[in-house]
Structure 1
Amino acid sequence: MSLSRCLPLGQNARVIIIPARFAHAAPASTNAASDDAPNYFQKIALRFQGVPLKGEAHAPKSAFDDANKEWSAPEVLPAIPKDFKEHPDRDLVNYPYPARPMYPPKTRLLMMPDSWFTAFNNVTGVSGPYLFFGGLFAFLLNKELWVFEEQGHMTVGWILFYLLVKNTSGYKIDQSLYQGYQERVNFFKGLIQEDLKDAVQFRKTSAAETESLNAIKEALPTALKESMALQLEATYRKNVQTVATELKRRIDYLKETEETKQRFEKEQLLKLINSSVEKQINDKSFKDQYLSNAIQQLKGLNLSV
């Protein structure tokens, strides 16, 4: 007997108890009879059966959907590189880094490690470890080395509760823990990427510079030769310009010297002529002779007229 429902029958109400084996068939017939309008208890029965109600596109989710599922990580944990050392003096042979297991170790009897049992297999066989641990448990109880108090029977309840939680919610717990681990790893990866941003940018820049250098490596001798030729040409032109400027300066100097010499000679000649003329003009005999010549010329003019 698992579910019950109450059907109001007017004033004289009766309670009808439906066995569990008939409860699976009852909702379908009841839904058809009640025009797809299940009552409260029928909804509860449909919820437990995982049947969607009217107007629901998907089946309802239950806490027991992931029961007895074995969780497996989509991505294994990153392993530490074999040559990694936080210090050069680190002894990796005698003191290796502890490896973080991806899955819990195999156990027997719900909680005892399997390695405790395999150690007895070569000596006592498969049943030996069970007899050993069972006898040890009985010995501890018999000699009252392990004393059970009045609430010791609750251990069985806690074990059953553990099995219930493990088989119903263990899959979701493992999945949520793995997601939390991935978020933490991504957080630290983001910090590392932020710290190495400058280094990555420098590496990209260095790679681009290396590629450009390799591209001009073959043409570098020709470029150097042409650069040397251009430098020689520029030096030659500069020297030619210097020589031309110096020649022009000297020619201008000679020309100015010659013009100055000619002007000085001309001035001296004019000065000499002026002084000679002034002497002759001041001489009385020259005046008389000049007057006599002028009178003769006038007479000659009169005769010819």
Structure 2
Amino acid sequence: MSLSRMVPAGKAAPRLVVVSARSAHHAHSAAPAASTRPEELDNPNFFQKISLRFQGIPLKGETAPPKSMFDDCGKEWSAPQPLPPVPADFKEHPDRDLTNFPYPSRPMYAPKTRMLMIPDSWLTPFHKVTGTSGPYLFVGGLAAFLVNKELWVFEEQGHMTVGWILFYLLISRTVGFRLDQWLYGEYQNRMGFFKNLIEEDLKEAKEFRKNSALESDSLVAVKEAFPTIFKENMVLQLEATYRKNVQTVATEMKRRLDYLKETEETKRRFERDVMLKFISEGVEAQAADPKFKEQYINDAISQLKGLSPSQI
């Protein structure tokens, strides 16, 4: 612990001035310099600097007090905020009996102990019978009885226990405050990590719940407007069926008309071909007959004779 903690509250801290042995014989002659405080010296010596550092006093020209590794010695760490209690109406099952079996409350700190390891609840009942010193006499007498009767053998290595106890006290009173503060910060960071995971899961659940509510509203609206929607759907289906039937009739009529047209064209073409073939065969057969030629020539001459001069 720092030297400044040894001064009672409300009193001015005494200033420690270390004078070197070489200038000790000049102490009486340097009376004005002794009234000067060490933190106001322009060039304090080595021991004065050490004294000021232990007291947490800045040197001349320094704007902030020095930080020492002994600043946190003897401090008791406490969490900035208590642990959240379990809600009064919380039940993991409807049949849970909270009256006879309530949830155990998680203590913020470890229970109070005496002599570093004996719970205070064990020694407090002695106060009613033996007073305040009774528990300590009981523990000391019990330890002496165990050692005297050799029920607890205190061998040559037993003195190491005292060393370990002193080592524990040294560590807990020097770096215990910083260690507890660092562990609490790491615990909060870890809890923050898990809380973020829970928030992400809850975010998805909230989105699902929101979407479910919107879908429920849409289903309610559809249910209310279902007769109108059904009627409109029936009209659309009838219209679609009518258009399909009209398209089918038109396609079938066009196919039959094309068939009739093709049939008529084929029939005319066949008649023309047959007629041309019949005429060609008849002409060729008559042309081969000599009588037909003579008769044809005579008919032509008679027709020429019968023509009037004006027609010639």
Which TM-score band (shorter chain)?
0.5 to 0.7
The aligned residue for residue 243 of structure 2 is: 237
1:202-221 equivalent positions in 2, closer than 5 A? 203=205, 206-207=208-209, 209-210=211-212, 213-214=215-216, 216-217=218-219, 218-219=221-222, 221=226
Specify the SS of the correspondent of 1:137: helix
Q: Offset at 1:60?
A: 0.8
Q: 2:197 aligns with which of 193, 215, 222?
A: 193
For 1:56 and 1:288, locate their aligned partners in 2 and report how far apart those are by CA, in whole Å. 157
1:13-162 equivalent positions in 2, closer than 5 A? 14=25, 26-28=35-37, 36-76=42-82, 101-108=107-114, 111-120=117-126, 124-125=128-129, 127-128=130-131, 130-131=133-134, 133-135=136-138, 137-138=140-141, 141=144, 144-145=148-149
CA deviation map 1:215-259 (0-9, x unaligned): 643258477766665555444433322221211111011112122
The aligned residue for residue 262 of structure 1 is: 268
Q: Does the C-alpha gap of structure 1 residues 154 and 303 become closer, same or farther in structure 2, counting only changes over 3 Å?
A: closer
The TM-score normalised by the length of structure 1 is 0.62
2:39 touches 2:60 (CA, 8 Å); kept in 1? Answer: no
Q: Does the C-alpha gap of structure 1 residues 269 and 63 become closer, same or farther in structure 2, counting only changes over 3 Å?
A: closer
Root-mean-square deviation over aligned CA pairs: 5.3
For 2:165 and 2:143, locate their aligned partners in 1 and report how far apart those are by CA, in whole Å. 20
Q: Does the C-alpha gap of structure 1 residues 283 and 271 become closer, same or farther in structure 2, counting only changes over 3 Å?
A: farther
1:106 touches 1:113 (CA, 8 Å); kept in 2? Answer: yes
Q: Does the C-alpha gap of structure 1 residues 161 and 247 become closer, same or farther in structure 2, counting only changes over 3 Å?
A: closer
Q: Read off the aligned partner of 1:60 and give its amino acid letter.
A: P
| Number of aligned residue pairs | 280
Percent identical among aligned pairs is 47
The aligned residue for residue 178 of structure 1 is: 184
Q: 1:5 aligns with which of 14, 19, 24?
A: 19
For 2:176 and 2:310, locate their aligned partners in 1 and report how far apart those are by CA, in whole Å. 166
Q: Offset at 1:107?
A: 3.0
Specify the SS of the correspondent of 1:14: helix
For 1:202 and 1:158, locate their aligned partners in 2 and report how far apart those are by CA, in whole Å. 53
Gaps of 5+ in 2: 1-13, 94-100
Q: Offset at 1:279?
A: 6.3
For 1:150 and 1:274, locate their aligned partners in 2 and report how far apart those are by CA, in whole Å. 152
Do residues 298 (structure 1) and 305 (structure 2) align? yes
Gaps of 5+ in 1: 86-94
Q: Offset at 1:267?
A: 3.9
- Structure number with greater CO (CA < 8 Å, separation at least 6) is 2
Specify the SS of the correspondent of 1:265: helix
The TM-score normalised by the length of structure 2 is 0.61
Q: Read off the aligned partner of 1:213 and give its amino acid letter.
A: E
